[in-house]
């Protein structure tokens, strides 16, 4: 059978309706909060109003005395023997001796109605001893800063640093001083970015049912229900497989739903009350106590010759990830200079704890901050040397075989192709209106494989069901069905794709790391190939020839040539109709941790108009160019490009976590946590570049994350050009722009 990598496609690259489209436009699709169970109770969480406080006493007697209240849980209701990351996870889920941020969970109540639970939560009396707090990354590293937790630092941290610095990384190559000496221009700048939130519209929600026998079920909105299973069972002291987790439809995640916040609490309440418990976060709880990004304080220095060759680059990234280790400084350092071929490069990273919620992944976690700093300096070098910013990037762009700034050599990658496509795009040469600047920037995400398990089964009529373990966060059912249809040679409509529960497949990592279409897609293709092998064998048996003499094409078994015999082809339906008497059910299955993932580069062009009297910035034109390897369903690839750009624009212009001096979050509603609204944005033009990934049968690269990386620097550079001042601090809010215009600095 010929099953080599394909380049000619019948279904892949088309734009069929997504299988779950009907349910999602009619309100039938069931998300996290849309589940109900007989006898169900409602939960409510008691949260700390203090950013840093010792818990002196918790008295739940008044709450428990309230009619309708069935259970109250505290830290005492969870596992006591945890360490390392599991202990961090539990401590973040429900506070132990101290509360570590505004909104940190302290206790929870289950009652017969949501209103009773909410009222009862107010009756749980918690006595606090307030401690000094710190929320800024630089302040948290300074002498005298309040210590979040002594002894949290690992062996990587050099002597003499504040105990809030918990991890440190440092790496590079070459001789950066010699490199800077060889440069015609060296630019060094400090940068700051604020923490932002993924901003998914669906708050975390779950329905838990856990018995005293240690067996349970959990329905929740998550990007990865096997992760949820592992985390919840660890925190509750259960055997992993005794909990079955079903992923609801998910109303956005962007990395923020790859961990747990309320799910273990709902399970604990259910175990205590002996009834199912539904727990739903409010928007305020989401913003205060889920997992926003890290904020960063950075220094980048780069040198360039007058003909545009980079000679050296250094970067320092100080990143806070909340009250726990885990700020993504390793990814930030690794990817900061990923676009460029550098002989002399050096990186330093600090992971710093503050009194903020534990950061979680957000689309290309860690990469956008580094890109903001590096691409801004790159832009300033081009400006200073009078170079075209795309030409200068082409001079230094990595390609197949280039040794990356973080070590390994690149396989086939598409940075040059995106730069060339951007340069050829009419946007790049369009005239600019008054008070308008143009920014361009490139970015990268290396993507991921991860544990993957899929199954495929042939129905009696020859249609096909596919089970995957990666929740559909943006149309991946359609992509899976297209890949199955392409491989099997059957119509797209004949494939049903389900996201199945944790009892139905082996372990799957979440839909994160831009891995779903790559890894689950690859496993679906391999599952289909296994099914084809079995289907072909059934035909061979029927024809009395060797299986090797059967060729599978267009959804049917054919004799591979004249020597194989002269038989009428058997369609998948023909074979399926007889499967009961020819050997039983026909399925395909694939388990792997595929490592052939290929990174995706992108280059963005943006025009921003600035009102010189108010400092207000308006994005007037935006173009995304990105390498998809092979676009399985181009509409959803474009959607990823557009969504990433929109989120990056929000991060650049308006979004930020604002804490007061007492560490209380000031903007815990969408009114003041300002994500882009429809009238804020122009159409977002897209160009799909396809440089096939050699590690996937059809050339797929993940496309979800790269798109949020270039917008931060692209928007910042556009504004800097519009006003003639370099903007080095996000968000680039109107007060900051106005100060810059007035020559008063930007802080």
User: What part of residues 172-231 is at the interface with another protein (CB under 8 A)?
Assistant: 198-203
214: left (phi over 0), alpha (psi -120 to 50) or beta: left
Give the interface segment with another protein, choosing from 168-176, 188-196, 319-327, 672-680 (CB under 8 A): 672-680
Compare residues 75 and 729 and give the one whose CB is closer to another protein.
729
Under the binding rule (CB under 8 A), the answer on residue 295 touching another protein is: no
> Residues 6 or more apart from 633 whose CB is under 8 A from it?
14, 15, 16, 18, 475, 478, 479, 482
Report yes or no: 238 and 216 within 8 Å, Cβ to Cβ.
yes
Residues between 235 and 264 with contacts to another protein, criterion CB under 8 A: 249-254
Task: Please tell me whether residue 61 adopts helix, strand or coil conformation.
Answer: helix
For residue 14, say if its preceding peptide bond is cis, omega within 30 degrees of 0. Answer: no
Residues between 121 and 160 with contacts to another protein, criterion CB under 8 A: 122
Under the binding rule (CB under 8 A), the answer on residue 2 touching another protein is: no
CA distances from 382 to 184, 306, 531, 735 (A): 11, 9, 55, 27
Give the interface segment with another protein, choosing from 296-304, 329-337, 588-596, 680-688 (CB under 8 A): 680-688
Q: What is the distance of C-alpha 738 from the center of its chain?
A: 34
By CB under 8 A, name the one of 89, 473, 490, 688 that touches another protein: 473
By CB under 8 A, name the one of 449, 559, 615, 713 that touches another protein: 615
Give the whole-angstrom CA distance, residue 377 versus residue 191: 10
Closest distance between another protein and the C-beta of residue 279, in Å? 14
Q: Which of 373, 360, 362, 320 is nearest to 647 (CA)?
A: 362
Give the interface segment with another protein, choosing from 144-152, 173-181, 400-408, 667-675 (CB under 8 A): 667-675
Give the whole-angstrom CA distance, residue 339 versus residue 337: 5
Compare residues 410 and 636 and give the one whose CB is closer to another protein.
636
Residue with tokens 């691409």: 375
By CB under 8 A, name the one of 150, 151, 584, 677 that touches another protein: 677
Residues between 537 and 566 with contacts to another protein, criterion CB under 8 A: none
Residue with tokens 């309706």: 17
Report yes or no: 260 and 93 within 8 Å, Cβ to Cβ.
yes
Under the binding rule (CB under 8 A), the answer on residue 453 touching another protein is: no
Compare residues 526 and 656 and give the one whose CB is closer to another protein.
656
Q: What are phi and psi of 385, to 5 degrees?
A: -100, 0
Closest distance between another protein and the C-beta of residue 327, in Å? 23
Closest distance between another protein and the C-beta of residue 67, in Å? 10
Under the binding rule (CB under 8 A), the answer on residue 738 touching another protein is: yes
Residues between 262 and 291 with contacts to another protein, criterion CB under 8 A: 280, 282-284
Handedness of CA 114, 116, 122, 127 (dihedral sign): negative
Compare residues 79 and 114 and give the one whose CB is closer to another protein.
114
Compare residues 284 and 533 and give the one whose CB is closer to another protein.
284
Q: Which of 698, 584, 583, 691 is nearest to 629 (CA)?
A: 691
Compare residues 212 and 678 and give the one whose CB is closer to another protein.
678
Give the interface segment with another protein, choosing from 102-110, 224-232, 522-530, 730-738 (CB under 8 A): 730-738
What the block records as the tokens of 523 is 């496993």
Report yes or no: 614 and 435 within 8 Å, Cβ to Cβ.
no
Give the interface segment with another protein, choosing from 407-415, 434-442, 490-498, 678-686 (CB under 8 A): 678-686
Compare residues 271 and 633 and give the one whose CB is closer to another protein.
633
Under the binding rule (CB under 8 A), the answer on residue 90 touching another protein is: no
Helix (H) or strand (E) holding 111: strand 105-111
Give the interface segment with another protein, choosing from 56-64, 74-82, 569-577, 677-685 (CB under 8 A): 677-685
Compare residues 122 and 409 and give the one whose CB is closer to another protein.
122
Residues between 682 and 721 with contacts to another protein, criterion CB under 8 A: 683-684
Give the whole-angstrom CA distance, residue 724 versus residue 735: 16
Q: What are phi and psi of 489, to 5 degrees?
A: 75, 30
Give the whole-angstrom CA distance, residue 405 versus residue 398: 10
What the block records as the tokens of 714 is 């692209």
Give the interface segment with another protein, choosing from 319-327, 488-496, 559-567, 610-618 (CB under 8 A): 610-618
User: Could you count the other beta carbons within 10 Å of the beta carbon of residue 589?
Assistant: 17
Under the binding rule (CB under 8 A), the answer on residue 670 touching another protein is: yes
Compare residues 212 and 683 and give the one whose CB is closer to another protein.
683
Closest distance between another protein and the C-beta of residue 18, in Å? 7
Closest distance between another protein and the C-beta of residue 199, in Å? 5
Query: Bridge-partner residues for 551, per DSSP?
Result: 558
List the x/- string, 9-48, binding to another protein by CB under 8 A.
------x-xx-xxx-xxxxxxxx-xx--------------
Give the interface segment with another protein, choosing from 144-152, 397-405, 661-669, 714-722 (CB under 8 A): 661-669
Under the binding rule (CB under 8 A), the answer on residue 635 touching another protein is: yes
Compare residues 241 and 666 and give the one whose CB is closer to another protein.
666
Q: How many chain residues bind another protein (CB under 8 A)?
A: 77
Compare residues 118 and 309 and give the one whose CB is closer to another protein.
118
Whats the size of the chain, residue-wise? 747
Handedness of CA 732, 737, 739, 740 (dihedral sign): positive
What the block records as the tokens of 18 is 């997504």
> Residues 6 or more apart from 221 whose CB is under 8 A from it?
31, 32, 33, 202, 204, 205, 206, 247, 248, 249, 250, 251, 253, 257
Closest distance between another protein and the C-beta of residue 642, in Å? 4
By CB under 8 A, name the one of 583, 585, 694, 735 that touches another protein: 735
Residues between 494 and 533 with contacts to another protein, criterion CB under 8 A: none
> Residues 6 or more apart from 326 whose CB is under 8 A from it?
88, 351, 358, 359
Compare residues 31 and 171 and give the one whose CB is closer to another protein.
31
Closest distance between another protein and the C-beta of residue 143, in Å? 28
Handedness of CA 238, 241, 246, 251 (dihedral sign): positive
Report yes or no: 466 and 495 within 8 Å, Cβ to Cβ.
yes
Compare residues 80 and 679 and give the one whose CB is closer to another protein.
679
What the block records as the tokens of 545 is 């020839």
């Amino acid at each position: 059978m010929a099953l080599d990598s394909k380049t000619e496609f019948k279904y892949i690259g088309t734009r069929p309706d997504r299988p779950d489209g009907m349910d999602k436009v009619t309100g039938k699709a069931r998300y996290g909060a849309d589940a109900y169970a007989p006898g169900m109770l409602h939960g409510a969480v008691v949260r700390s109003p203090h950013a840093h406080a010792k818990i002196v006493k918790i008295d739940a007697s008044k709450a428990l005395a309230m009619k309708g209240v069935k259970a109250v849980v505290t830290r005492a209701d969870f596992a006591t023997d945890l360490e390392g990351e599991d202990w961090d996870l539990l401590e973040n889920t429900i506070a132990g001796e101290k509360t570590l941020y505004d909104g940190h969970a302290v206790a929870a109540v289950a009652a017969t109605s949501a209103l009773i639970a909410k009222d009862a939560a107010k009756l749980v009396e918690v006595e606090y001893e307030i401690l000094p707090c710190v929320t800024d990354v630089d302040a948290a590293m300074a002498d005298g800063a309040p210590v979040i937790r002594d002894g949290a630092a690992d062996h990587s941290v050099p002597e003499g640093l504040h105990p809030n610095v918990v991890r440190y990384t440092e790496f590079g190559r070459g001789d950066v001083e010699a490199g800077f000496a060889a440069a015609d221009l060296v630019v060094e700048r400090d940068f700051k970015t604020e923490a932002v939130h993924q901003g998914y519209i669906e708050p975390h929600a779950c329905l838990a049912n856990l018995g005293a026998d240690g067996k349970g079920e959990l329905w929740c909105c998550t990007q990865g229900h096997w992760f949820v299973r592992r985390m919840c069972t660890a925190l509750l002291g259960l055997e992993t497989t005794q909990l079955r987790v079903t992923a609801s439809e998910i109303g956005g995640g962007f990395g923020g739903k790859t961990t747990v916040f309320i799910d273990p609490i709902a399970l604990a309440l259910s175990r205590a009350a002996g009834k199912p418990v539904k727990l739903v976060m409010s928007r305020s709880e989401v913003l205060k106590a889920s997992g926003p990004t890290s904020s960063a304080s950075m220094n980048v220095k780069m040198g360039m010759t007058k003909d545009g060759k980079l000679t050296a680059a250094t970067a320092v990234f100080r990143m806070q990830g909340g009250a726990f280790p885990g700020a993504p400084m390793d990814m930030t350092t690794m990817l900061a200079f990923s676009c460029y071929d550098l002989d002399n490069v050096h990186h330093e990273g600090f992971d710093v704890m503050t009194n903020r919620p534990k950061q979680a992944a957000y689309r290309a976690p860690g990469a956008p901050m580094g890109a903001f700093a590096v691409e801004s300096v790159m832009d300033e070098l081009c400006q200073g040397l009078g170079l075209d910013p795309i030409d200068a990037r082409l001079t230094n762009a990595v390609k197949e075989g280039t040794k990356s700034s973080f070590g390994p050599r690149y396989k086939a990658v598409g940075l040059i192709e995106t730069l060339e496509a951007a340069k050829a795009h009419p946007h790049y040469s369009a005239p600019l209106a008054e008070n308008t600047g143009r920014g361009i920037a490139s970015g990268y995400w290396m993507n991921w494989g991860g544990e993957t398990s899929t199954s495929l089964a042939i129905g009696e009529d020859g249609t096909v069901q596919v089970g995957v373990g990666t929740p559909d966060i943006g149309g991946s059912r359609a992509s899976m069905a297209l890949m199955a249809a392409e491989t099997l040679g059957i119509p797209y409509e004949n494939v049903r794709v389900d996201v199945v529960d944790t009892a139905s497949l082996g372990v799957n990592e979440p839909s994160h790391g831009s891995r779903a279409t790559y890894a689950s897609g690859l496993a679906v293709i391999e599952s289909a190939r296994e099914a084809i092998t079995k289907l072909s064998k059934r035909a061979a048996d029927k024809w009395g020839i060797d299986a090797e003499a059967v060729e599978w094409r267009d959804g049917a078994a054919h004799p591979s040539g004249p020597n194989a015999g002269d038989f009428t082809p058997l369609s998948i339906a023909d074979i399926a109709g007889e499967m009961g008497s020819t050997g039983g059910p026909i399925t395909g299955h694939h388990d792997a941790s595929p490592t052939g993932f290929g990174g995706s580069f992108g280059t963005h062009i943006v025009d921003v108009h600035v009102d010189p009297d108010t400092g207000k910035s308006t994005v007037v034109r935006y173009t995304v160019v990105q390498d998809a390897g092979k676009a399985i369903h181009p509409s959803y690839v474009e959607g990823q490009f557009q969504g990433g750009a929109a989120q990056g624009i929000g991060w650049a212009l308006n979004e930020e976590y604002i804490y007061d001096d007492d560490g209380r979050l000031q903007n815990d509603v969408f009114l003041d946590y300002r994500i882009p609204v429809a009238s804020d944005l122009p159409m977002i033009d897209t160009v799909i570049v396809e440089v096939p990934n050699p590690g996937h049968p059809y050339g797929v690269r993940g496309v979800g994350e790269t798109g949020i990386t270039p917008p931060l620097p692209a928007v910042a550079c556009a504004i800097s050009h519009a006003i003639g001042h370099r903007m080095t601090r996000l968000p680039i809010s109107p007060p900051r722009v106005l100060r810059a215009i007035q020559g008063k600095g930007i802080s």
